[in-house]
């Protein structure tokens, strides 16, 4: 229900009672001092959320909803039934879906399996690196698997090195409309390494550029063979990619490099990437393996090593904190598989998650095409998200996993000890911005809110541009975030117990 806030206010005691007489006048009937303004004074004199949105003049569309968590009462809704791209706010739904289907204590397991007999430390058949859908596996984890294999007495493998990636369906990119070189849209499959990103580093010397591609982690920096980079003498495009006989083959424009630097690039062949690095880690322990081959079938054998992830609750907390897209996709598809049927594709899994959200959370108007929010084709309404937030807050499930949302002044500086406390999930694409979560007003009243903004015409134009950061995108997103904070401050002041 929309709230109508009156613009009128009354100051008492402006009249004085005059006593007839030439000598003196009597005392005023009431004090001339105005009454203290209430905490919601600014809200009352400047209008409601709709007026605030109009004054901001953000190009595109704005939709928002806020409700009291305790009663579920809808306190404000501006275009609350409008379907908007949620961006990474979609990860809230993914988290709830995974907790329901997998359980907070679920752990992902990556195994090394000897598929043939083992005699005197020699594996007579194949060795399988079996992915179990762990989005957090890194080079350190593969090094630990190799060390375990050595401790188990393995010293030679006569057969092939197979990498099993069939636990989840393969997708070349989370969102195929994204440029090839963006590290936040890598390939997805049943095995991942370093969030399916490879580290590209360059330095300029007297004879040109020296480049390196490695799978660095906290303890190791192994070079990789399945990804390579060449520097090309051109201005645009900055990067090109092609699949060259199983190798991620990149080129980069020399004019874009400067004297030196580095960045993470996406991996398009996760299984070969993991196999490449695992061979290096095994070789460090004296175990020589053949070049990796990919399989989507897992046969029996003897487990010789395993790597286990943190509990799902911690995986989700980090996913929400850092907004990692690969984690969202792998966790979301794992949740679908846990429901009894392996998903045919990433999109099919997202559609199943949308149906689940409609049944279990009352999000009947939500239609998601992925689990991360990276695609702008997904739609979610503020009303839907707030309905879900109210329901799950009563169970105490979500808010502890959300990241505190800091309040800032006009210059963007953090405001310490702000009276409104916010825990929320942000979502950002160029010309798309979302925010959803919980706020606690100064008097302790807890509200659930959702704010979605989008300028889809500008976003469509930006996709055709060659710039990595489209013109006008950063000012638009910055202004959207300022509007989000103003709405939060307004709700915190206006809606109290």
b vs e for 260-299, b when ≥16 Cβ sit within 10 Å of the residue's Cβ? eeeebbbbbbbbbbbbbbbbbbbeeeebebeebebbeebe
Model confidence band, residue 411 (pLDDT cutoffs 50, 70, 90) = confident
Detail the DSSP E strand segments found in 71-121: 74-78, 109-114, 118-119
b vs e for 344-363, b when ≥16 Cβ sit within 10 Å of the residue's Cβ? eebbebbbbbbebbeeebbb
Rounded Cα–Cα distance for residues 24 and 476 (Å): 64
Dihedral in degrees, nearest 10, Cα atoms 170, 175, 178, 182: -60
Asked whether 229 and 210 are in contact (CB, 8 A), the reply is no
pTM over 0.75: yes
Taking 90 as the threshold, does the pLDDT of residue 345 lie above it?
A: yes
Block residue for tokens 């007026």: 51
Least confident of 132-146, 151-165, 395-409: 395-409
CB atoms within 10 A of CB 65: 28
Mean pLDDT of the chain: 90
Asked whether 113 and 301 are in contact (CB, 8 A), the reply is yes
Taking 90 as the threshold, does the pLDDT of residue 47 lie above it?
A: no
The model's pLDDT over 180-234, given as tens digits with 9 standing for 90+, comes to: 999 999 999 999 999 999 999 999 999 999 999 999 999 999 999 999 999 999 9
Nearest in space to 95 (alpha carbons), one of 379, 298, 399? 399
Nearest in space to 293 (alpha carbons), one of 271, 278, 277? 271
User: What pLDDT does 495 receive?
Assistant: 64
Taking 50 as the threshold, does the pLDDT of residue 42 lie above it?
A: no
Q: Provide CB contacts within 8 A for 359, sequence distance 6+.
A: none
User: What pLDDT does 496 receive?
Assistant: 56
Rounded Cα–Cα distance for residues 399 and 51 (Å): 30
The model's pLDDT over 60-83, given as tens digits with 9 standing for 90+, comes to: 999 999 999 999 999 999 999 999
- 3-class SS of residue 24: coil
Dihedral in degrees, nearest 10, Cα atoms 227, 180, 140, 157: -40
User: What pLDDT does 6 receive?
Assistant: 33
* Average pLDDT of the residues in 427-441: 97
* Average pLDDT of the residues in 15-29: 41
The model's pLDDT over 444-463, given as tens digits with 9 standing for 90+, comes to: 999 999 999 999 999 999 88
Percent of the chain with pLDDT over 70: 90
User: What pLDDT does 40 receive?
Assistant: 47
């Amino acid at each position: 229900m929309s709230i109508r806030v009156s613009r009128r206010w009354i100051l008492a005691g402006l009249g004085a009672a005059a006593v007839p007489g030439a000598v003196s006048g009597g005392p005023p009937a009431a004090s001339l001092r105005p009454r203290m303004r209430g905490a919601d004074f600014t809200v009352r004199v400047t209008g409601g959320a709709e007026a605030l949105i109009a004054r901001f003049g953000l190009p595109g569309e704005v939709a928002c909803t806020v409700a009291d968590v305790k009663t579920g009462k809808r306190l404000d809704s501006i275009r609350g039934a409008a379907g908007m791209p949620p961006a990474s706010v979609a990860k809230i739904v993914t988290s709830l879906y995974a907790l329901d289907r997998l359980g907070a204590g679920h752990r992902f397991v990556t195994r090394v399996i000897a598929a043939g007999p083992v005699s005197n430390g020699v594996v007579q058949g194949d060795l399988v690196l079996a992915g179990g859908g762990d989005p957090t596996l890194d080079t350190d984890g593969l090094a630990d698997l190799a060390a375990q294999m050595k401790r188990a007495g393995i010293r030679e493998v006569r057969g092939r090195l197979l990498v099993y990636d069939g636990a989840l369906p393969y997708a070349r990119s989370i969102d195929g409309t994204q440029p090839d070189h963006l590290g936040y849209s890598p390939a997805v499959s049943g095995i991942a390494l370093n969030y399916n990103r490879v580290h590209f580093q360059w330095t300029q010397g007297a004879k040109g550029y020296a480049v390196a591609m490695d799978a660095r982690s906290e303890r190791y920096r192994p070079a990789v063979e399945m990804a390579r980079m060449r520097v090309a003498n051109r201005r645009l495009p900055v990067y090109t990619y092609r699949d060259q006989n199983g190798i991620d083959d990149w080129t980069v424009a020399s004019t874009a490099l400067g004297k030196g630097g580095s960045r993470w690039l996406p991996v398009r062949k996760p299984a070969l990437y993991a196999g490449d690095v695992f061979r290096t880690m095994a070789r460090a322990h004296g175990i020589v393996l053949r070049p990796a081959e990919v399989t989507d079938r897992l046969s029996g054998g003897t487990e010789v090593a395993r790597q286990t992830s943190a509990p799902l609750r911690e995986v989700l907390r980090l996913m929400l904190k850092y907004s990692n897209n690969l984690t969202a996709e792998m966790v979301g598809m794992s949740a679908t598989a846990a429901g009894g049927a392996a998903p045919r594709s990433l999109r099919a899994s997202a559609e199943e998650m949308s149906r689940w959200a409609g049944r279990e959370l009352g999000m009947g108007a939500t239609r998601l095409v992925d689990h991360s929010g990276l695609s702008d084709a997904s739609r979610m309404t503020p009303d839907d998200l707030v309905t879900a937030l109210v329901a799950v807050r009563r169970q105490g499930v979500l808010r502890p996993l959300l990241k505190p949302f800091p309040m800032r002044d006009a210059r963007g500086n953090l405001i310490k000890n702000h009276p409104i406390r916010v825990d929320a999930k942000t979502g950002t694409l160029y010309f798309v911005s979302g925010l959803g979560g919980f706020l606690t007003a100064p008097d302790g009243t807890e509200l659930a809110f959702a704010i979605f903004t989008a300028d889809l015409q500008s976003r469509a134009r930006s996709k055709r541009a060659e710039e990595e950061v489209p013109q006008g995108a950063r000012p638009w997103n910055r202004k959207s975030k300022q509007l989000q904070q103003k709405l939060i401050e307004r709700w915190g002041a206006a809606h109290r117990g």
